[in-house]
Amino acid sequence: MTVALDLAPASEAEVAEIIADRHARRAPLRIVGGGTRVENRARGEALSLSRLSGVVTYSPGEMTLIARPGTPLPEIKAMLEAEGQALAFEPPDLRGILSGNGTPSLGGMVAANASGPRRVLAGACRDHLLGVRFVDGRGRLLKNGGRVMKNVTGLDLSKLLAGSHGTLAALTEVVLKTLPLLPARTTLAFPGVTQATALRIFTAALSTPFEVSGAVHVGGTAYLRIEGLERQLAYRRDRLLALLAEHRPEVLDDAPWGAMRDVAHFADGGPLWRILCKPTDAPEICAGLRAMGGDSSLDWGGGLIWYRGPGNPRALAPHATLIRRDTATGPAFPPQSGAVARLQDGLRRAFDPAGILNPGLMDA
């Protein structure tokens, strides 16, 4: 008998029942969060997780947060800040570049493994994910991980789900590690430098013990951010100034890190690509992107390139994701081949044997 339920479930049981029914009928589902991470062109009925919202437990003393996937990220941020804490990986808000009116959600953040400039110091979202509850493509409710790091044993499935964009399972609860807010920050700016020079600056700074928490090149200026206690900050700032004196750095008390994190410099239209690469390859890739007629910026010390412009950059860098289509065509996610493709297909068959979860997202 076919189950007829609202496709905006308010409980794990409803999520499981809907997916189990669609699995039996081989009917595809398009999992929807806040709609602020990537243009979702998957096939099927929309399964919205927005009503599956709210904080289950927040323990500031244990620095642990447990919440449901539809919980708005602005609410999480405000709650953590009130306790002097934060999500250390600094998730970006991409509403500006996607012209969306949705609200970033906790589940969407995890599903996209969304991580901002502080990734160079703190790691990515998946590195702070302690556990998950989820419904797989058969409609089975499963859990993995624990509430503290020492309890995370066995195969860490949460690392697989972070960045899978809902193609393996629908998240119903996530457990995240929180960290104290760093009380002070300062920025070293290097105006008028090329991307190749910026990479040399980043390499020198990130190889020191001075805990650089951001390394970005935007609009011809390279930026290095350091954060911490005031006395520590002054020492690290002065050491970096001496190390990089030949590049004539400027000290800024306030720099637009929020805007750089959210890629606001590319908010005004055109196809936009997110390219992952080895930092040492970034100057050559960016030179090729300029030849294609577009503009680019660097984040993660050169490990992340944002490109706005014509053409398909996958000929230069295979790990390029089309975040905003505009006039661009073709699959949004980079096609896989060889062993990686076989591994990806095997994981999908294990988690979702009927192929009903976000079908076409990775190749549409």
Asked if residue 197 and residue 149 are part of one domain, the reply reads: no
Rounded Cα–Cα distance for residues 40 and 31 (Å): 9
Expressed as residue numbers, the domain containing 221 is: 184-261
User: In the numeric block, which tokens belong to residue 317?
Assistant: 């860098």
Same domain, 211 and 156: no
User: Is 147 in the same domain as 127?
Assistant: yes
Q: What is the pLDDT of residue 154?
A: 55
**pLDDT tens digit string along 228-249?**
998 899 999 999 999 999 999 9
Q: Which two tokens stand for residue 38?
A: 């990537």
DSSP state of 195: H
How is residue 191 written in tokens? 């105006």
Read off the CATH number of the domain in which 64 is found. Answer: 3.30.465.10
Domain closes at, from 216, 242, 261 = 261
71/191 same-domain check: no
Query: Is 320 inside any structural domain?
Result: no
Same domain, 172 and 188: no
**Token pair recorded at residue 118:** 């502080």
Alpha carbon of residue 337 to chain centroid: 23
Give me the residues of the chain with pLDDT under 70, please: 1-6, 146-155, 364
CB 124 within 8 A of CB 113: yes
Same domain assignment for residues 80 and 93:
yes
94 plus 207 within the same structural domain: no
Q: How far apart are CA 38 and CA 30, in angstroms?
A: 13
> Could you tell me which of 187, 319, 174, 308 has the C-alpha nearest to residue 241?
187
The answer to whether residues 135 and 48 belong to one domain is yes
Tell whether 151 and 103 lie within a shared domain.
yes
Q: What does the pLDDT read at residue 303?
A: 98
Query: Which one of 261, 276, 294 terminates a domain?
Result: 261
**36, burial (CB in 10 Å: exposed 0-12, middle 13-18, buried 19+):** buried
In a domain, 66, yes or no: yes
pLDDT the model gives residue 36? 77
How much of the chain exceeds pLDDT 90, in percent?
Answer: 81
pLDDT tens figures, 68-108: 999 999 999 999 999 999 999 999 999 999 877 789 999 99
Task: Give pLDDT, residue 147.
Answer: 58
Q: In this structure, is residue 32 part of a structural domain? A: yes
Q: At which of 261, 286, 308 does a domain end?
A: 261
Task: Examine residue 338 and state whether it is found in any structural domain, yes or no.
Answer: no
- CA–CA gap between residue 137 and residue 349 (Å, rounded): 9
Inside any domain, residue 82: yes
pLDDT tens by residue, 265-301: 999 989 999 999 999 999 999 999 999 999 999 999 9
Residue 273: inside a domain: no
Residues 2 and 136 in one domain: yes
In sequence order, the β-bridge partners of residue 45 are: 29
55 token code pair: 């904080």
Q: How many domains does the chain have?
A: 2
Alpha-carbon gap, residue 358 to 196, rounded angstroms: 39
- Within this chain, do residues 98 and 129 fall inside the same structural domain, yes or no? yes
Strands of 178-260, DSSP E: 179-180, 184-191, 212-218, 221-228, 250-252
Single pTM value for the model: 0.92
Same domain? For 219 and 176 the reply is no
